[in-house]
Amino acid sequence: MSSRVPLTYGKKVLELFRNPKNLGRIEDANAEALAGSLACGDMIAIYLKIDESTEKIIDAKFESYGCAANIAAASILTEMIKGKNIQDAWKISWRDISNELGGLPPVKYHCSVLAVGSLKRAIRAYYANRSKPDWLPEELTQEEKHVIEEEKLMEILAKRIQKTEL
Ligand code: FES
C-alpha cells in the first residue's frame, strides 16, 4: 500500500489541468522564455505577442512539462495577462496566481513561482533589444532568483542521476 498522501487540489486547479487554456506556442511571438529544466521535466515555456505601439499583451500561450499545478498556474497566468499592458503583467506575483487558482498546497507554491519567473524572463527578453522602461528593475526579483536556484538544483540532480545510472 502506498504511504503517499494525495495532494488536495482545488476545483479550479483540476479544471485547468484537465482543460488548460492557451496551451501551445505562438509562432510569431515577439517575446518568449523558458523556465525550469528539461532534465527533470518541471518546465514552462511562455510565448507573448505584444503590440509594439501600445505595449499591450494581445496574446499569451504556454507549453508545460510539469505537474498539474504547473499546468494550471501557467494556464491562469496567460489568462490574467491577456489584454494587460506589460508593466501591469510584470506586477503579477506567484501569490496572485495561487489566489486566482483558489489556493495551492504549500509544496506546490514553486509551480506558481516557475510560471511567474517565466513571464518575467519573457518580459526581460522583450526589452533585450529595446529601450528599457524605468519600471523594469535591473536586479532580479525573488521569483526570478528562485527559478535560477531551481534550475541549478535540477542540473545537479540530473547529473547525479546520470552518474548512478552509468
Ligand atoms: Fe515542479 Fe509542479 S512544477 S512540482
DSSP 112-150: HHHHHHHHHHHHHHHTTTSPPPTTS-SSPPHHHHHHHHH
pLDDT of the residue at 157 = 78
pLDDT of the residue at 1 = 47
Q: Whose C-alpha lies nearest to ligand 1, atom 1?
A: 42
Does residue 66's CB lie within 6 angstroms of at least one atom of ligand 1?
Answer: yes
Instruction: Give pLDDT < 50 ranges for the chain.
Output: 1-2
pLDDT of the residue at 45 = 95
pTM: 0.89
Residue indicated by cell numbers 496574446: 59
Does residue 67's CB lie within 6 angstroms of at least one atom of ligand 1?
Answer: yes
- CA–centroid distance, 34 to ligand 1, in Å, is 14
Domain boundaries, the chain: 11-165
Residue 45 CA to chain centroid, in angstroms?
7
- CA–centroid distance, 134 to ligand 1, in Å, is 33
pLDDT of the residue at 150 = 85
11-165: which CATH topology? Sufe protein. Chain: A (3.90.1010)
- CA–centroid distance, 53 to ligand 1, in Å, is 36
